[in-house]
Structure 1
Amino acid sequence: MTSEHSRQSAVRESAAAGIPAALADLGSLVRIPSVAFPGFDPAHVERSAEAVAELVRGTELFDTVEIRRAGIPGTDETGMPAVIARRAPRNGRPTILLYAHHDVQPVGDEGLWETPPWEPTVRDGRLYGRGAADDKAGVMVHLGALRALKEALGADFDLGVALFIEGEEEAGSRSFAQFLTENAEVLAADVIVVADSGNWDSRTPALTVSLRGNTRFTLRVRTLEHASHSGMFGGAVPDAMMATVKMLSTLWDAEGAVAVAGMTERDAETPDYDEATLRDEAGLPAGVSPIGTGTILSRVWNKPTVTVTGIDAPSVANASNTLSPEVTVVISARVAPGQDARDAYAAIEAHLRANAPFGAELEFFDQDFGNPFLVDTSGWAVADARGALASAYGVEPVDMGVGGSIPFIADLVREFPGAQILVTGVEDPHSRAHSPNESLHLDTFRNALVAEALLLEKLDGRVLGD
């Protein structure tokens, strides 16, 4: 039997040797435009699920590998396909659930991409393409780590492994809770790794210990029964755009901070992070000022936001001298850790109704909710993960908050209350997830894969109860 040190060395070497194959498979996945949003061809998501399932089967490590769906509660619809797999633990070892998602964001305006979004392209140490970082890299970190463990230790290692590669995370994970309920036996685990977050920078790994929640909804503002000539009636009747602009402007104060009564903040210390770093990582031009008050990271990690992410109104090309009868907007709000997402939504709705000018009619629909999350960092799995990250990166990991949301983590906590949850990722501040020119820092990918392989090796040597 090999010593612990030689086992770790073998796993590290196998992980490093497997990087080229993992990147090749990642490139193949990036070429599949697996957007799960309404209006996009769901056949691409099906093809992506099949491709992931084939890669999972290729490991020859699992007792079962399946593509499954679940119904979306309150509708007659069915969710997008997810890949699930399981191998049973042996000799008292724990089971680890590895989560990632194979669906991606829409590409937006392709003219803003420097290279084709569905053609993986390596440039300056980064792999460009939609989903290259978020989150098909997460899929391949899991599979690459499992391949390394098998290569180093053989296929008969004792660690139990469950795999869950979701197909609709970017579209709201609407069937997630139902999917967990229906597949709880397959997915049950002692440790859960959610590979869908980021790192402090391209050299420094991180564990995400806090996440903001979110609420997203659509709002229709109506002021007229029909469109009217702006010259004949302008100045006497309100158009919907005027009402919408006036109403939405009340959501923020003069500094750009949220001004909605009932939306709360979390009081917590944040690390040093200066304005120059913010400008570099966010792409904030020199002439544009940051918004909000307090430390920069408190604004991103611990305070709420309200953002208008879409609007339906006459386009510039179709502009005419007409008073618009209605305007529809999509509003996305981030919810500070410690507040329920539904309470935050109720506060926003009450604020908008109270500030609707000229008696404008408001209609709220398509609400989505995801609660914030705070990680319990006291468990042995967190210590094991920190050790693996430090060993792989050569830099001690940091605990960080994230301004984004992973709403389904609350569902994982509810379904598996005894599991220790680790939120990791392969993104860095320049990955531009959800934006044009999304990219994966290749060195970060390598280090993340090695770190997860080392974590799996550590857990394979852990006997529950010891």
Structure 2
Amino acid sequence: MTNRLTTDELRTKVDGVLPRLRKDLEDLVRIESVSADPARAAEVQRSAEAVADLFRAEGFQTVDIVSAEGGAPAVIAHKAGPEGAPTVLLYAHHDVQPENDHADWDSPPFEPTERDGRLYARGAADDKAGIAAHLGALRVFGDDLPVSVTMFIEGEEEVGSDSLPALLREHQERLRSDVIVIADSGNWDIGEPALTTSLRGLVRADIEVRTLTHAVHSGMWGGLVPDALIALSRVIASLHDDAGDVAVAGLHSGPAADVDYPEERLRAESGAIPGVQWIGSGSVVERLWTKPALSITGLDAPKVEGASNTLVPAARAKISLRIAPGDTTENAVARLREHVEANLPWGAELTFTVVDTGEATQIDATGPAYDAAREAFTEAWDGTAPVDMGVGGSIPFIAEFLEAFPQASVLVTGVEDPDTRAHGANEGLHLAEFERVVLAETLLLDRLGNLEA
């Protein structure tokens, strides 16, 4: 058992570490650790080394940069707490998304810039602020940690974490812990914390429809021979019913938390134009969190400009299917393939290729660790209790942690808010919320130190 500090005492300590913590975050952000860009592999390596140096400076007994199966470098570090105290694994990732067109940014994407209480830069929130939040909580305690801490900072989350299962297998004993805190999600709103308890899974597939061996004159053969683009359009149209619900039979749906998502906020955050109607049925959060969703995210077909007057022989589409918690990618792939095959018109030829998959996640958010987290969050947000939030997007690696460490309590937290714009231009960290996140994690570690390992 540790001597528990009051919330006010810990808040004062957090205030004391914030200036240096922000500098360290800004230094990390300046490193262009874009894991999707092979030309910046050295930057990803430099980012891992910078993270490792931060942990060495905090007195971690072991700090190693590791990789598996040719994957990007990750950092594993350990610092011992009191004998018999629980071990807490703190996860974040140091790689970032491509910044894309610099012209879309209001300030240089790798030069952190503060405007109106936000720090703008690629990775300022997703997820170098997750690293900084962990680091800030540790600095509050110094060498008087209430728990033993293992840091696991991944280097390829933004490209699918392909080597993560191998890393977990290879370093399983080093990573084994009682509680895992994954700082790669967000909060419900500014001033309203959240614990993420479910995430949808993902199936991406390319479908190619072919009706001809080569293009032919539309006047000579139109009206008799079907073109591939019309055939593909009929397949795409079959994927939703008239209400906009996914029409693929056999996919799982489930209930969601009773959370209000006001119309005004929904339209503002989604970017929907004023006249657009919502699709699907059920509550807003069910449609966003616990029901399947399907989009066409790419098409290969002739461009309108310069198109010849011929029947298109083949056309291709990329299908992005988000699957609900409780479903499996194996089931979703089979049901999607069956649906496409059943709705392929006029004897067209189909090529169905699975691009990638990621399992959905449903977390049992009960037990002492979750009780401690809810208490910590409520105190950090001045009495506002956290929402048990679903996420419509996918973080497949969470399922990998749940499978590798079934006895651990997995807490999914994060620094993002509805206007973070992760992955887009002008990604930004809300600095006041970041301070609350650091305080919440500090309080959480303090509370976990009073749980039996």
TM over 0.5: yes
Distance 1:222 1:9 in 2: 67
Q: Deviations over 1:298-342 (max 9, x none)?
A: 111111001222334445666554544433433221111111122
Alpha carbons of structure 1 residues 396 and 158: separation in structure 2 relative to 1, 3 Å: closer
Name 2:250's counterpart in structure 1.
262
Name 1:289's counterpart in structure 2.
277
Q: Tell me whether 1:427 sits opposite 2:416 in the alignment.
A: yes
Equivalent position SS for 2:371? helix
1:233 Cα shift? 4.8
Q: Tell me whether 1:15 sits opposite 2:3 in the alignment.
A: no
TM-score norm. by structure 2 comes to 0.92
Identity of aligned residues (%): 51
Name 1:50's counterpart in structure 2.
49
Q: Which deviates more from structure 2 when the two are superposed, residues 22-31 or residues 222-231? A: 222-231
Alpha carbons of structure 1 residues 319 and 41: separation in structure 2 relative to 1, 3 Å: farther
Q: Which deviates more from structure 2 when the two are superposed, residues 245-254 or residues 200-209? A: 245-254
Distance 1:218 1:43 in 2: 32
Q: Which deviates more from structure 2 when the two are superposed, residues 420-429 or residues 301-310? A: 301-310
Name 1:132's counterpart in structure 2.
124
Query: Which amino acid letter does the alignment assign opposite residue 287 of structure 1?
Result: G
Name 2:156's counterpart in structure 1.
168
Alpha carbons of structure 1 residues 407 and 225: separation in structure 2 relative to 1, 3 Å: same
Query: Which amino acid letter does the alignment assign opposite residue 250 of structure 1?
Result: S
The within-5 A match list for 1:320-359 is 320-321=308-309, 323-359=311-347
Name 1:211's counterpart in structure 2.
199
Equivalent position SS for 1:214? strand
Query: Which amino acid letter does the alignment assign opposite residue 411 of structure 1?
Result: E
Q: Tell me whether 1:114 sits opposite 2:113 in the alignment.
A: no
The within-5 A match list for 1:63-74 is 63-71=61-69
Alpha carbons of structure 1 residues 241 and 450: separation in structure 2 relative to 1, 3 Å: same
Distance 1:143 1:240 in 2: 55
Q: Deviations over 1:73-106 (max 9, x none)?
A: xxxxx22221111224432100000111122223
1:204 Cα shift? 0.7
Name 1:90's counterpart in structure 2.
82
Distance 2:427 2:77 in 1: 29
Equivalent position SS for 1:18? helix
Query: Which amino acid letter does the alignment assign opposite residue 436 of structure 2?
Result: N
Equivalent position SS for 1:43? helix
Count of aligned pairs: 452
Q: Deviations over 1:148-169 (max 9, x none)?
A: 221xxxx143521111111122
Q: Deviations over 1:279-301 (max 9, x none)?
A: 12212221111111111111111
Distance 1:320 1:50 in 2: 54
Alpha carbons of structure 1 residues 442 and 158: separation in structure 2 relative to 1, 3 Å: closer
The within-5 A match list for 1:115-264 is 115-150=107-142, 155-157=143-145, 159-228=147-216, 230=218, 233-264=221-252
Alpha carbons of structure 1 residues 226 and 108: separation in structure 2 relative to 1, 3 Å: farther
Q: Which deviates more from structure 2 when the two are superposed, residues 267-276 or residues 231-240? A: 231-240
TM-score norm. by structure 1 comes to 0.90
Name 1:74's counterpart in structure 2.
none
Q: Tell me whether 1:272 sits opposite 2:246 in the alignment.
A: no
Distance 2:253 2:226 in 1: 36
Q: Which deviates more from structure 2 when the two are superposed, residues 366-375 or residues 158-167? A: 366-375
Query: Which amino acid letter does the alignment assign opposite residue 4 of structure 2?
Result: E
Query: Which amino acid letter does the alignment assign opposite residue 264 of structure 1?
Result: H
1:181 Cα shift? 0.6
Name 2:23's counterpart in structure 1.
24
The within-5 A match list for 1:368-387 is 368-387=356-375
Q: Are the equivalent residues in 1 in contact too, given 2:2–2:146 (CA < 8 A)?
A: no
Query: Which amino acid letter does the alignment assign opposite residue 189 of structure 1?
Result: S
Q: Which deviates more from structure 2 when the two are superposed, residues 13-22 or residues 415-424? A: 13-22
Equivalent position SS for 2:364? coil
Q: Are the equivalent residues in 1 in contact too, given 2:113–2:119 (CA < 8 A)?
A: yes
Q: Are the equivalent residues in 2 in contact too, given 1:172–1:368 (CA < 8 A)?
A: no
Q: Are the equivalent residues in 2 in contact too, given 1:149–1:456 (CA < 8 A)?
A: no
Q: Are the equivalent residues in 1 in contact too, given 2:188–2:387 (CA < 8 A)?
A: yes
Distance 2:313 2:49 in 1: 46
Q: Deviations over 1:21-61 (max 9, x none)?
A: 2222222322333232376643332232222222222222x
1:63 Cα shift? 1.8
1:453 counterpart (428, 442, 448): 442
Query: Which amino acid letter does the alignment assign opposite residue 19 of structure 1?
Result: L
Alpha carbons of structure 1 residues 240 and 168: separation in structure 2 relative to 1, 3 Å: farther
1:230 Cα shift? 4.9
Name 1:412's counterpart in structure 2.
401
Q: Are the equivalent residues in 2 in contact too, given 1:12–1:454 (CA < 8 A)?
A: no
1:145 Cα shift? 1.4
Distance 1:324 1:237 in 2: 10
Alpha carbons of structure 1 residues 210 and 10: separation in structure 2 relative to 1, 3 Å: same
Query: Which amino acid letter does the alignment assign opposite residue 287 of structure 2?
Result: R
Name 1:37's counterpart in structure 2.
36
Distance 1:413 1:122 in 2: 37
Distance 1:190 1:20 in 2: 31
Distance 2:101 2:315 in 1: 22
Alpha carbons of structure 1 residues 448 and 247: separation in structure 2 relative to 1, 3 Å: same
1:438 counterpart (423, 427, 436): 427
